[in-house]
Amino acid sequence: MILYLVLEDGSVFPGRAFGALAETTGEVVFNTGMTGYQEILTDPSYCGQIVTLTYPLIGNYGTNAEDLESPKPACQALVVREICSVPGNWRQDESVDEFCSRSGIAGICGVDTRALTRHLRHRGTMRGILTNDLERGTRWAAEVQAGTEPVLPAGLVEKVSTKETYHIPGQGPLLAVLDFGIKQNILRTAHEQGCRLAVLPAWVKPEEILALKPQGLLLSNGPGDPKNVPYAIETIRALLGSLPVFGICLGHQLLALALGADTYKLSFGHRGGNHPVQDLQTGRVYITSQNHGYAVADESLQGLPLEVTHRNLNDNTVEGLRHRELPVFSVQYHPEAAPGPHDSEYLFGEFFKLF
């Protein structure tokens, strides 16, 4: 079946359908990773987005049940140049086509993903529709241009957060985890450090967290604009000074907002496994995995009790913060994602030293 990816500016990128056959809309973004497509498909931070993969051949090692980052994929659709129809790997359970079809993810292949990525880099991320009706897509683009809707809607965190508190047993100290759309590998990495985990809904109250008597608080990754989660900002602010806090990705942005800083939307975001980040204290450069469309505003940090600990060497954006007095710090990238392969896991160790 012929499909069309129509962007809100009227640009059209034709291709062929795979996966679930469904019309869908979302923010069109691109990821520069050469591998890890299954982790991308199942990362809750992609909720509400149509993901373009820049690597030209996707699916050669299939998918498997062990590498899921969440039980249910949250992205809207997948855009690729070429989809592998005959994957070959001893760990595979099914192909990407089969996985997307079963998971309800629409797919389009045969797209000139290089041209699409260059367009998004030049114009910025924007909304798109995946449809087999070009006339319908053109009408949709005109309606979007005439409206004032935000690129990403509110309520994304509520879609992907756990609805009830659950526990991961262990022998060590208890770590409270605020789930804004957490990746499973964050939980695995924290658990392997010797922690018991209590994973809580994003909207849980401060007193409910303190009632568990945890030794630390982890703020997870998640989708969308951090300013759309005001209740979490208030919860974090109320807990500062009571617990050591470590924020990752969206958790980093929410922590900054709770401390009085500001955030803004990046033109086309950081998504991929090859972003160079420098630790300003040691000078060491780490190759990091990232997936975010918002960042902490540098100028908003003036006069706050925060120091910048890490910077992105591509665009000098803030990648890490530390409170000057409290046991509180955060990073914008994913220290559990292992692109280097394990360069940044030391941050979990630094966090647990604060208990």
206 with 302, same domain?
A: yes
- Do 296 and 219 reside in the same domain of the chain? yes
Q: Binning pLDDT at 50, 70 and 90, where does residue 340 land? A: low
10-27 average pLDDT score: 96
Query: Could you say which of 146, 167, 192 is where a domain stops?
Result: 146
Residues 141 and 160 both lie in one domain: no
Which CATH number belongs to the domain containing residue 224 in this structure? 3.40.50.880
Active site residue 292: no
Q: Please indicate, yes or no, whether residues 115 and 78 belong to a single structural domain of this protein.
A: yes
* Whether residue 253 sits in one domain with residue 163: yes
* pLDDT tens-place string over residues 21-44: 999 999 999 999 999 999 999 999
Percent of the chain residues topping a pLDDT of 90: 87
Instruction: Provide the edge-to-edge strand list for the sheet that holds 285-296.
Output: 166-168, 196-201, 174-179, 216-219, 245-248, 328-331, 318-323, 306-312, 263-279, 285-296
Q: For position 148, what pLDDT does the model report?
A: 73
- The residue from 69, 119, 249, 270 that is catalytic is 249
Do 165 and 139 lie in one domain? The reply is no
Say yes or no: 299 and 187 in one domain.
yes
| 259 and 327 both lie in a single domain | yes
SS3 content of the chain, % helix, strand, coil (to 5): 30, 35, 40
Grouping H, G, I as helix, E, B as strand and the rest as coil, residue 183 is: coil
pLDDT tens-digit readout, 74-112: 899 999 999 998 999 999 999 999 999 999 999 999 999
pLDDT tens readout for residues 239-293: 999 999 999 999 999 999 999 999 999 999 999 988 999 999 999 999 999 999 9
pLDDT at 134: 97
Domain endpoint, select from 146, 171, 201: 146
349/193 Cα distance (integer angstroms): 7
Contacts of 183 (CB under 8 A, 6+ apart): 39, 43, 44, 45, 69, 70, 220, 221, 334, 336, 337
Average pLDDT, the chain: 94
Residue 336 annotated as catalytic: yes
Give residue 341's pLDDT. Answer: 57
CA 163 to chain centre: 19
- Domain of 271? 156-352
Q: Report pLDDT for 200.
A: 98
User: In this structure, is residue 256 part of a structural domain?
Assistant: yes
The dihedral built from the CA positions of residue 115, 4, 16 and 109, taken in this order, carries a sign that is: positive
Whether 209 and 269 share a structural domain: yes
Q: What is the CATH number of the domain that holds 49?
A: 3.50.30.20
Whether residues 265 and 302 share a domain: the answer is yes
Q: What is the pLDDT of residues 101-153, one digit of tens each?
A: 999 999 999 999 999 999 999 999 999 999 999 999 999 999 998 887 777 77
208 a catalytic residue: no
**151 domain residue, yes or no:** no
Q: Are residues 11 and 141 in the same domain?
A: yes
**pLDDT exceeds cutoff 70 at 338:** no
322 plus 220 within the same structural domain: yes
Q: Which among 110, 126, 146 is the end of a domain?
A: 146
Count of domains forming the chain: 2
